[in-house]
Structure 1
Amino acid sequence: MNITINRVLCILGLFLSFGSLAANKLEGVRIWAAPESTRVVFDLTAKPSYTQSTLVAPDRLVVDLDDSQTKLALDKIANNSKLVKRIRLSKPPKKGVLRLVIDLNRPVNANLFSLPPTEPYGNRLVVDLEEKGKETRTIAAPSESARDIIVAIDAGHGGDDPGSIGPSGLYEKKVAFEIAKRVQAKLDATPGMKAVLTRTGDYYIHPNKRSELARKHRADLLVSIHADAFTSPEPRGASVWVLSMRRANTEIGRWLEQKEKHSELLGGAGEIIQNADNEQYLAMTLLDMSMDRSMAISHSIAGDVLKELGKVTPLHKNLPESASLAALKSPDIPSILVETGFISNPKEESQLKNATHQDKLARAIHSGVLRYFEANAPADSLLAKRSGSSKHKVSRGESLSVIAAQYGISITALRQANNLKSDTLRIGQQLVIPKG
């Protein structure tokens, strides 16, 4: 009898042990703060099953993790967020549930999703918090006086997204940010040029937000900086990418469906179009013209940057490549993506972490961008004013109408300034741009 009871107790003990092993464990919490948003990451031993709810007075986000437990001291978590006051445990609604409460400093929009293991992280529950109302902010109208040419520098990845990881453990996000800051410094030191960073620290920005930030700053160009990687260590060299025509057309289609964005993308004309359903063809024409112009500029700048990079590092591709890349999804803003080298190649990884090599890469990017804008300065820019009249090098896909629209002048004025007998242009042809 005693033997039977002991066996039953042993079996029950095994079941209890298996049950405790099956429970998900919260092993870490990381808070990544951006200026107007915050990402909270819960590191778990298994895929989470969760529910969420929002409470007010005071503002809180409640996350219930099923079949979970933790031994973390949540009050010890590093927190530099303006949105998150603290993260704490609370009494669960039922046994086995781990209730986490994110106390907030102000109302937020919350987006929760789980991520599978990806080096260097395991299973994660991600909580993206964005302050309510920030998305409606607008930028003041530009000044009538001569302006700086604005270049948005986008350091790839960041925060919980390390990007590719080199053989020695170097993170792509760190390399990209260091080079981005160097490019910013060189552009800011150039009269008539100004750089803005899409991220100013180690935090994550959704790819959709990166081009939106560039647009809000009225950027003339978006340069996204990355480091390439491959499954084997052999590939090496830098490359420059532009938006593919297929991706550009997809984005144009999305814009046409979102009438509230027409004004933002087309200026004053958008106010008329968004209230007239029968004039959608006009919106399509204007957006197509904007896309043609920005893509032609992107190709030209990509070529100039690639030439400069070839002077300081091997090239993986000798000509600009096009692809459907998340960072390049804004056909209204000329955009390029610079792969500064292969972080998966041990030799190039060593170079990419070297400050001197980073500065050479930054100088090459700066020189390529400057070369283009010195030859093709926007008519209202300080660079154009200094030279009296600006010049424009004809790129693939450009026409007289596209170039005239870019500089805000008439086709007739452009013809007269260049003594053109016809509207036919050749790639590489230099045009004088008269004052508007």
Structure 2
Amino acid sequence: MRIVIDPGHAGRLTDPGAVSPFTGLRESDVVLSMAFMIQRYLRAVGYEVLLTRTQDEQPETDDLSYRTNLSNSWGADLFVSLHCNSAGSSSAQGYEVWTSPGQTQGDVLATKIFNQVAGEFPDRTGRTDYSDGDPDKESKFYVLVYTDAPACLVETAFLSNEEETTLLSNLTWQDRYARAIARGITDYVGGI
């Protein structure tokens, strides 16, 4: 099983992603830390895991097609992109799992991950869209549309929310989240 984990955004000089107004914590740093944790858990059960970046900076040619081309050329069986959310309101909170529009294997993957995150963090808010019968939200995000493998995008928590920024900065909490995502992936693999 070949799995691509995509720590979103590309670092200090290009795109740190969301930045907490409370602490300066950067999305690109949080998701890279979690990606290494997920990689460790998935390798422990025998999966091959490729990260789209392993450092704070990306190649100069980096754009979203770099990530999808890497996954497609490697022949990935699954693609999971990691992000932290942000909103104009500091009260926005919770997690989301996104897939491309329509019913695909990405929906099944997203639901497995969503369920594991919900089980690990019953005190956190799962932001859902059950209009098609499952909890994932749908969008034509580039990495979801142009990745050949079943793909989903996880918005772990809000950096614009002070409480969630505190959680995201905690390595133990990151590790719990990484384990939940890894369990969701193994649940998906076990069902195919």
TM-score of the superposed pair, with normalisation by structure 2:
0.88
| CA positional deviation for 1:312 | 2.6
Q: Deviations over 1:209-247 (max 9, x none)?
A: 1011011211001100000000111011111000125xx
**Paired residue for 2:81?**
224
Q: Superposed, which structure 2 residues align to 1:201-350 within 5 Å? A: 201-204=55-58, 205-245=62-102, 296-313=104-121, 314-318=124-128, 319-330=135-146, 332-350=148-166
Give the number of the structure whose alpha-carbon radius of gyration is greater. Answer: 1
Matched, 1:196 2:50: yes
Cα distance between partner residues in 1 of 2:10 and 2:101? 25
Q: Does the aligned pair in 2 maintain the 1:243–1:331 contact within 8 Å?
A: no
Please state whether the residue corresponding to 1:224 is helix, strand or coil: strand
Matched, 1:163 2:17: yes
Unaligned 5+ segments in structure 2 are 129-134
Counterpart pick for 2:170 among 354, 364, 376: 354
* Aligned partner letter, 1:349: T
Cα distance between partner residues in 2 of 1:312 and 1:166? 24
| CA positional deviation for 1:316 | 3.4
* Percent of residue pairs bearing the same amino acid type: 32
Q: Deviations over 1:324-371 (max 9, x none)?
A: 213323252211000011111000011001000000110010001101
Q: Does the aligned pair in 2 maintain the 1:239–1:340 contact within 8 Å?
A: yes
Q: Does the aligned pair in 1 maintain the 2:37–2:178 contact within 8 Å?
A: yes
Q: Does the aligned pair in 1 maintain the 2:68–2:147 contact within 8 Å?
A: no
TM-score of the superposed pair, with normalisation by structure 1:
0.40
Number of matched pairs: 178
Runs of 4+ in 1 over 3 A off after TM superposition: none
Cα distance between partner residues in 1 of 2:32 and 2:146? 21
**Paired residue for 1:145?**
none
Q: Does the aligned pair in 1 maintain the 2:20–2:160 contact within 8 Å?
A: yes
**Paired residue for 1:185?**
40
Higher relative contact order (CA 8 A, sep 6+): 2
| CA positional deviation for 1:200 | 1.1
Cα distance between partner residues in 2 of 1:304 and 1:337? 13
* Aligned partner letter, 1:315: T
**Paired residue for 1:174?**
29
Q: Does the aligned pair in 1 maintain the 2:79–2:147 contact within 8 Å?
A: no
Matched, 1:372 2:182: no
Cα distance between partner residues in 1 of 2:51 and 2:64? 14
Please state whether the residue corresponding to 2:19 is helix, strand or coil: coil
**Paired residue for 1:402?**
none
Q: Does the aligned pair in 2 maintain the 1:309–1:315 contact within 8 Å?
A: no
Unaligned 5+ segments in structure 1 are 1-148, 246-294, 377-436
Q: Does the aligned pair in 2 maintain the 1:186–1:363 contact within 8 Å?
A: yes
Q: Which has a greater percent of strand?
A: 1
